[in-house]
Amino acid sequence: MPPQAPPPDSETFRMDPVLETLPAGTELWRCHQTRYPGGEFSPVQADVHFGGSRFDGTPLDPYPYLYAAPEQATALAEVLLRAVPFDGSTGTRLIPHARVAGRSLTALRTAVDLRLIRLVTEEDLAAICQDSWLLETEGPGYAQTRRWATALRARVPHAQGLLWQSRRHRPKRALVLFGDRCGTEPVKTDPGGSFPLDTPQGMAAANRLLAPLRAVLVPRTAVEVAAP
């Protein structure tokens, strides 16, 4: 559908979001910058009009957020496969080392039940007067999807996040949690299930996960290794 603003809440034209509970004890995976703890919500607010990601908080609706997925490959794909084409000579998506430098894949586990607005099926999207555009648009469209996140938060004040079908690892799911609604430490890290992506061992593990998606992490070049 063409981009449009969220509808005004009325009896005849209103959003009626579908909710799903993510049970306590659910395993999640997060691809994130290593310098920050895996279970820490991002406090960075996206500009109202530029940059950012699909459902980030903004100065108009400032909430911390945490993107994750129930499966390792999905968490990697959501971050690493953005705008990565298939290489014409290898038939593989070549992920440059710079994209994983300073990143880790961390295992998390939910400490409490979390109520999420479900945006998985066409019926779920229709319930909020939307379609797949909300999950497919990129780049400049993110300013508009963030506006929809704000409208959904206003419509369901007790919703603690959003759940949708990953566009880079269908039909697997991805999610975002709202840090201002999840209480203290809603997710805990599992150090035994985490690893850096910019080490030989981490790259090998990530490549095993990404192989079915015909994607591979490219090692650092000799020039990069020699650079000060």
State the chain's maximal CA–CA distance in angstroms.
Answer: 65
Structural domain of 93: 18-219
The rounded distance, in Å, linking the Cα atoms of 196 and 205 is 10
The rounded distance, in Å, linking the Cα atoms of 31 and 79 is 7
Tens-place pLDDT, residues 171-204: 999 999 999 999 999 999 987 788 999 999 999 9
Does residue 8 sit within a domain? no
Tens-place pLDDT, residues 74-112: 999 999 999 999 999 999 999 999 999 999 999 999 999
Residues in the chain, overall count? 228
pLDDT at 226: 40
Q: Report CA dihedral (173, 153, 53, 80) to the nearest 10 degrees.
A: -20
pLDDT at 223: 36
Does residue 143 sit within a domain? yes
The rounded distance, in Å, linking the Cα atoms of 23 and 111 is 9
Does residue 165 sit within a domain? yes
Burial of 189 (0-12, 13-18, 19+ CB in 10 A): middle
Whether 168 has a pLDDT exceeding 90, the answer reads yes
Sorting pLDDT into bands at 50, 70 and 90, what band is 222? very low
Report the CATH number that the domain containing residue 203 is assigned in CATH. Answer: 3.90.175
Whether 60 has a pLDDT exceeding 90, the answer reads yes
Regarding predicted confidence, which is higher, 8 or 200?
Answer: 200
pLDDT at 1: 63
Whether 210 has a pLDDT exceeding 60, the answer reads yes
Does residue 13 sit within a domain? no
Q: Which helix (H) or strand (E) holds 124?
A: helix 122-126
Sorting pLDDT into bands at 50, 70 and 90, what band is 8? confident
Whether 4 has a pLDDT exceeding 90, the answer reads no
Does residue 7 sit within a domain? no
Across all residues in the chain, what is the average pLDDT?
A: 94
Whether 221 has a pLDDT exceeding 80, the answer reads no
Does residue 106 sit within a domain? yes
Average pLDDT over residues 14-30: 96
Count up the domains in the chain and report the number: 1
Does residue 205 sit within a domain? yes
Does residue 9 sit within a domain? no
pLDDT at 225: 47
Average pLDDT over residues 134-143: 95
Sorting pLDDT into bands at 50, 70 and 90, what band is 10? low
pTM of structure: 0.94
